[in-house]
Amino acid sequence: MITRTPKYYDEFKCIASECKDNCCCGGWLIELDEATAEYYRTLEGEFGEKLKSSLMTDEDGDICFKLTDNRCPHLADNGLCSVCCELGEEHMGVVCKEFPRYTISFSNVTEKGIGLACEEAARIILSDDGFLLTESGECFESQQTDIAKDEQDWQIAEDFEEEEDTGWIEEMLSARNEIFAILSDRTKTVFQRMAEILQFSYDFQEQINGEDGGKRQSQEDFTEEFDVKGNFELLTDIFDNLELLNDKWQDVSVLIREKLFKGTDKEAFKDALHMSANDIGGRVFENLMNYFVFRYFMKAVWDYNPFDKIRFAVCSCIIIWEMFTAAQLKKGEALTDWDMIQLVKIFSRQVEYSEENVEAVCEEFLFGDDFDVDRLIAMVLV
C-alpha cells in the first residue's frame, strides 16, 4: 500500500480550546460510527447516561449526537471535548478523531490531507512555503523521482472497492504531477498558471474522450468576446444555489454582490480584483490550487472527468478571490492572514463538507455550456 500526504499534514494538531470557531459548535450533526455508538451504549454512570441520552438517528439512518443550540452536547464550557477528557481520544467517534482530515483511496494508494474548514488547518495550508508530497510504501515507478519519501501512520477512513486500471491511475498521477509542476513555476503569475492548467486539463480530457482539443486562442484574441463580469456573477449564482450549510455564507454572498456587482462597471470590477490579488499575493492562490487539485483531481479515477475536477478547483479559487476582494473593499485596507483564514473556512464549510454541493457544482460544468475552457481562462486572466 502506498500512503501519501502533503508535507504539512503532520503539522496539524487540534488547538482545542484556543480555537476561535470550534467545529463542535458549527451546527453540523456529528455522525458516529456504529462501533463507537455501541460502546457508548454499554457505559454506565452519570456520564454514560448522558452519552446514551444524546444519541439520535437522523433522516438518513445515521447515528448522531443531538445538538444543543447548534453545539455538540459534549462540548464543555472550557472549549474541550468531555468525551475525550472522560474516556480518552481512542473512544471518540471516527469523524471527531479525523476532522478536518480527509482520505481518498484508489488501487494500492491512500492519500490523506487536511481541509480548509478548520482554522488551524487553513492557517497551515495558506502559509505553506512550497507544496510537496511525502510518501511511504511501494510506489509506481513513474512517481519515485517526483515524491519525497517519509513514513506516515495511516488510518483509512474510506475504501473504494471498484476494480481499477493501474495504467489509467498512472496516467492520472502523471497528469497531476504535470499540474503541480505548472503551479510551481513562479516565473508566471498564479493566474497565468491557472490558465495553463485549464488548457492542459482540457486537452487531457479531450484525449480521454478521443477528441483533439487543439490549441486555444491567445488571451488577446478571446477575452474581449466574453462578458467576464457577467460570468463572475453567474458563477456566484451557482454557488449561491447550493444547499445552505453555513449562515455566514449568506452574509458573504450579499457582500460580494454589493461590493463587486451592484453599480460597478467592467473596469471598476477588474480594478477591484487586481487590487486584492496584488495585496494578497500569488502564494495564497497557489496554495489553494495545490490543495484543491490534491483533494479532488484523483476522484476522476472513477468518473473519467479530470477537467471537471480542475474546473471545480479553479472556480473555487475564483469564488474565494471574490470573497477576498469584497471583504477588502469593505475593510478599506489589505486583508490580514486571519481575515483570509476566516473566509476560506466559510467557503469550505458551505461547499466542501457536502458531497451533494460539490457534485452540484461539477454537474453545472458537465451539463452546462457557461464555463467552457475559453470562458474560464478569460476569467482568471481578467
The predicted-structure confidence for 99-128, as pLDDT tens digits, reads as follows 899 999 988 889 999 999 999 999 999 999
pLDDT confidence bin for 287, thresholds 50/70/90? very high
| Residue environment code for 223-260, b if the CB has 16+ CB neighbours within 10 A, otherwise e | beebebbebbbebbebbbebeebbeebeebbebbbebb
Give the Cα separation of 142 and 139 in Å (integer). Answer: 8
Residue found by looking up cell 462540548 in the block? 75
Burial class (CB in 10 A: 0-12, 13-18, 19+), 117: buried
| Cα dihedral across residues 360, 361, 365, 369: positive or negative | positive
Q: Which pTM was predicted?
A: 0.85
The residue that leads in pLDDT, 5 or 354, is 5
Helix (H, G, I), strand (E, B) or coil at 226: coil
Looking at the DSSP bridge assignments, the partners of residue 111 are 4, 104
Q: What is the mean pLDDT of the chain?
A: 86
Give the Cα separation of 33 and 362 in Å (integer). Answer: 29
pLDDT confidence bin for 342, thresholds 50/70/90? very high
Euclidean distance between the first and the last CA atom of the chain, given in angstroms as a whole number: 43
> 32 — alpha (psi -120 to 50), left (phi > 0) or beta?
beta
Candidate from 54-68, 111-125, 171-185, 279-293 with smallest mean pLDDT: 54-68
In this prediction, what percent of the chain has a pLDDT beyond 70?
A: 88
The residue that leads in pLDDT, 211 or 67, is 67
Burial class (CB in 10 A: 0-12, 13-18, 19+), 305: middle
Candidate from 33-37, 150-154, 304-308, 354-358 with smallest mean pLDDT: 150-154
Task: Answer yes or no: is pLDDT of 296 > 90.
Answer: yes
Q: What is the mean pLDDT of residues 220-226?
A: 57
Burial class (CB in 10 A: 0-12, 13-18, 19+), 151: exposed
Helix (H, G, I), strand (E, B) or coil at 263: coil
Sheet harboring 2-6: ordered strands across?
101-106, 109-114, 2-6, 133-136, 148-149
